Structure 1
Amino acid sequence: MDQVQHKFVQVQGLKHHVAEIGAGPKVVVFLHGFPEIWYSWRHQMICLAGAGFRAIAPDYRGYGLSDPPPVPEKTTFGDLISDLLAILDFLEITKVVLVAKDFGAKPAYMLALLHPDRVLGVVTMGVPFIPPGPSQYQKHLPEGFYISRWREPGRAEADFGRLDAKRVVRNIYILFSRSEIPIAAENQEIMDLVDQSIPLPPWFTEEDLATYGALYEKSGIPNGVTSSIQVLG
């Protein structure tokens, strides 16, 4: 972990945190999902650097050590694409391979479509490619589905506001490590679905939890939720 370097890039009117390791012309950019930050990719970054690649992982606006946008609920995937292009220009990087998961997949797809001259390849996990246009998938989701709930104005803020940041992150990783999709009953919130006696998944340590919790204490989880749900929508 000590090999990873950290810098701040001032673009799009915001200060963006960027983690980086390795050197050379072959560049891989990692795009995180929710509730993640650059730290989610640390193992892959170190591995690629050892194989001769330059690995970069930014924190999105409103996440980790990056500045929050002035109006988080108005954040769109277009903002994330613009941020990423501006960061690449600042770092004087012309072409990259994108590796993305969760809601980071949509900006990766769109960056490749809109700016094919900047993208050598795309690897995504968790979210399939959906052609641009009006989204219809929300109408097929149950009311208690976590995306449906968190899209309601103020619902995520109220749900998370009952707990500290570390407990919220813990609950989310337990929920998302299950095979079942998080769906709450009418009289429940998403955070109520977690039995506090359930341990963390074996691949997510207490040290990891402390790292995420500390960074979300700074950025605020509701900002991250609002931004990512808008992107998914």
Structure 2
Amino acid sequence: MDQIEHKFLLVNGLKLHVAELGSESSPAVIFLHGFPEIWYTWRHQMIAVANAGFRVIAPDFRGYGLSDSPAEPEKASFDDLINDTASILDSLAISKVFVIAKDFGAMVAYPFALLHPHKVAGIITLGVPFMPPGAFKHHFVLPEGFYVRRWQEPGRAEADFGRLEVKTVVRNIYILFSQSQMQIADENEEIMDLVKPLTPLPSWFTEEDLEIYGALYQKSGFQTALQVPYRSLGTVGSIVQDPKIEVPTMLIIGNEDYAYKVPGMDEYVRSGEVKKYVPNLETVYVPNGSHFVHEQFPDHVNQIILTFLDRIKK
């Protein structure tokens, strides 16, 4: 971890934080995080991929971690994150990159590849497949009481989170998102109420990890994070008409990832419908893997990633 360098880039009017490791002359890999994550979620992958001969960079999205928040977080969009990604690569003089993305980071990675196909050598996403236009209206049904629906309501998550210390909010989300079943709140219950106070952290997520996450969310708050992704999901997939991802692509899924209990999600992947949009897709399932499979089983996931990268770079 001490080898990882940290820098700040002035990007689209904001100072964005980027963690970096590896030689500038090596093939480049950019890691895009999800929620409740920041660059640190990729700590295991950055070291392994850099040691294998790649230049790795992991930014904090605007409004996350050490990056500046936009002046009007309630107006932040996926377009902002896509544009930031392109600008970060330009600032670092990286002309072509492998993109590895987790959770909603996939909703940045795929549109980025559609808009900048000449910049992308290959894509790996963890947990989230390519989303077709209108996915959250027509393909996948999100139950009432599911956290995504609740957090889309302006003010509701803010009030729920505001009852607790920031570190406790992150702790509860990590516990919730590590479950194998969708956690659904009752009508008169809030999402934070779903976690009992003495529930332990997942065994692979330490108190030290939590301290780092908690300190960074204490700095950034949750305002931008609630806007992107949750309150911007209606815009996902609308950026290009008749989208098709042509580069080699891999989807890594934990077999116990609760997200595949969302009605329609598992069928969308297993039926091959996703390949209408991503024809060169390979899907790998990790036994016993949760939504945080890359932190839970880092050595196994690192090997999957490196096998893919070595194959594509040749």
Q: Quick one: distance in 1 between partners of 2:184 and 2:233?
A: 17
Q: CA contact under 8 A between 1:156 and 1:222: conserved in structure 2?
A: no
Q: Give the aligned partner of residue 160 of structure 1.
A: 161
1:141 Cα offset (Å) = 1.8
- What is the aligned partner in structure 2 of residue 32 from structure 1? 33
Report what 2:176 is aligned to: 175
Question: Contact 1:21–1:45 at 8 Å: present in 2 too?
Answer: yes
Q: Residues 109-131 of structure 1: CA distance to partner in whole angstroms, max 9, x if unpaired?
A: 11111110000000001112122
2:174 counterpart letter in structure 1: Y
Q: Determine helix, strand or coil for the equivalent of 1:157.
A: helix
Contact 1:73–1:226 (Cα < 8 Å) also in 2: yes
Residue in 2 aligned with 1:5? 5
Question: What is the Cα deviation at residue 182 of structure 1?
Answer: 2.1
Shift of residue 74, structure 1, vs aligned partner: 1.6
Quick one: distance in 2 between partners of 1:116 and 1:157? 37
Listed as ranges, the gaps of 5+ residues in structure 1 are: none
Q: Which amino acid is 1:19 matched to? A: A
Q: Which amino acid aligns with 2:101?
A: A
Alignment of 1:70-219 (within 5 A): 70-133=71-134, 135-137=136-138, 140-219=141-220
1:21 aligns with 2:21: yes
Partner Cα distance (2:72, 2:66) in 1: 17
> What is the CA–CA distance in structure 2 between the aligned matches of 1:205 and 1:137, rounded to whole Å?
39
Q: Does structure 2 conserve the Cα–Cα contact (< 8 Å) formed by 1:15 and 1:66?
A: yes
**Cα distance in structure 2, aligned partners of 1:189 and 1:138:** 26
Corresponding residue SS for 1:6: strand
Q: CA deviation at 1:142?
A: 1.6
**1:34–1:225 CA contact under 8 A, matched in 2:** no
2: distance between equivalents of 1:111 and 1:180?
A: 31
Deviations 1:148-204 (A, max 9, x none): 000001111111011111000000000000111121000100000001111000110
Q: Which residue of 1 aligns with 2:245?
A: none
On the 8 A contact 2:178/2:202 being kept in 1, the answer is yes
CA separation of 1:34 and 1:138: change in aligned 2, threshold 3 A: farther
Q: Is the 8 A contact 1:103 1:231 kept in 2?
A: no
Q: CA RMSD in A?
A: 1.4
1:43 paired residue number: 44
Task: Report the Cα distance in structure 2 between the residues aligned to 1:130 and 1:29, rounded to whole angstroms.
Answer: 20
- Output the amino acid matched with 2:50: A
User: CA separation in 1, counterparts of 2:159 and 2:140?
Assistant: 23
Q: TM-score, normalised by structure 1?
A: 0.96
User: Quick check: 2:74–2:223 contact (8 Å CA) kept in 1?
Assistant: no
Paired AA for residue 191 in structure 1: M
Q: 1:68 to 1:198 in 2, by over 3 A?
A: same
Partner of 1:68: 69
Amino acid at match of 1:6: H
Question: Are the counterparts in 2 of residues 6 and 18 from structure 1 also a CA contact under 8 Å?
Answer: yes
* Deviation of 1:231 (Å): 4.0
Q: In structure 1, give the amino acid aligned to 2:17.
A: H
Query: What's the offset of the Cα at 1:39?
Result: 0.2
What are structure 2's unaligned runs of at least 5 residues?
A: 235-314
Shift of 1:232: 3.1
- Normalising to structure 2: TM-score of the pair? 0.72
2:230 aligned residue: 229
User: CA–CA distance in 2 between the matches of 1:49 and 1:134?
Assistant: 35
Q: Quote the offset at 1:134 in angstroms.
A: 7.2
Partner SS for 2:122: strand
Pairwise CA distance, 1:135: 4.3
Given that residues 103 and 128 in structure 2 are in contact (C-alpha distance below 8 angstroms), is that contact kept between their aligned partners in structure 1?
Answer: yes
SS of residue matched to 1:132: coil
The percent identity for this pair of structures is 64
